Amino acid sequence: MRPNHHTATASIPPLVSASPGFGPWLPAFVLLAVLWGASFLFMRLGAAQFGAIPTAGLRVILASLFLLPLMLVRGEWPALRKHWKPVLFSGIINSAIPFSLFAFAVVHMPTGMASVLNASTPLFGAIIAWLWLGDRITALRVLGLMMGFTGVALLALHDKPASATATDWSAYAAMAACLCASLSYGVAASFAKRYLVGVPPLATATGSMVGASLCLLLPTIAMWPSQMPSWSSWLAIAALALLCTSVAYILYFHIIQTAGPSRAIAVTFLAPVFALVYGNWFLAEPITAWMLGCGAIIIGGTMLSTGLIGGKRP
């Protein structure tokens, strides 16, 4: 859907303490949710003609071209050169893999449902951090994990796309792709916490886009559509790369600096609201009561498992 905020959060030490209440960060917070929610719509519009891999490839290549000059102006090239191996690798697990999986998924399932499943990313992040990094996991966090995955299971079993039949497994493959993408984000977050602490955020963001671009360049060329996509598809790809990836990264870093990482990561729970609305307005995708209920269970469980409610984040 989006540039992975989990890597950014894990790789940046606390910059300032979050101020209580609402503040100047709120407009950026809402705009970031608007952009990340729109990423599912733009992926759908682009992948319908480009295909999943070229959509993901163009997304990271164009984002790299946008972010590279900013990184050079900020003087963060030496940091990227020093840590280039883990930064480039993070681009594979943090962008290339999940972007490709989501681009495939939104062609075979409602974009709103994909965004709801993406909200489960912190669930996987909590489990990976517990297994890999030894993060403490309390009974309340276990309850949150159980709630979150119950919501995912209920959504998958009941609310598959209406076009899917008993013999059409594309809907289930799309759901599996969303969950694998979320798992990849979770692994990337712990990887960044382990190997990228102290690397400047813009260097991490730019380097990860470059790493993803190198990973997807040849597959993008090999899978390039035989018929030239329409201008509307090109515009969707451009918006996905420039707005939902490049600008979104900058907004996210701004929120971390002004409001703190815990508030920044909470945008994950607002983005699906916009994604559901976009899908309904522009693609005539239905918003079912079951989808909303499962989404509430997933988000509630995620907030418990990450400590955003009922305790402090680990």
Q: Say what the pLDDT of residue 66 is.
A: 95
In tens, the pLDDT along 217-245 reads 999 999 999 999 999 999 999 999 999 99
> 82 to each of 87, 192, 205, how far by Cα in Å?
10, 15, 15
16 has a pLDDT exceeding 80: no
In tens, the pLDDT along 41-57 reads 999 999 999 999 999 99
Q: How confident is the model at residue 61 (pLDDT cuts 50, 70, 90)?
A: very high
Three-state DSSP class for residue 18 = coil
Distance from chain centroid for Cα 281 = 22
d(CA 179, CA 172): 11
The pTM of the full predicted model, rounded to 2 decimals, is: 0.83
> 48 to each of 44, 78, 135, 167, 238, how far by Cα in Å?
6, 39, 41, 22, 15
Domain boundaries, the chain: 5-11+24-305
With a CB cutoff of 8 Å and minimum separation 6, the contacts of 156 are 172, 175
Tokens standing for residue 82: 């020093």
> 131 to each of 124, 128, 135, 192, 239, how far by Cα in Å?
11, 5, 8, 15, 37
How many C-alpha atoms does 278 have within 13 Å on its Cβ side? 24
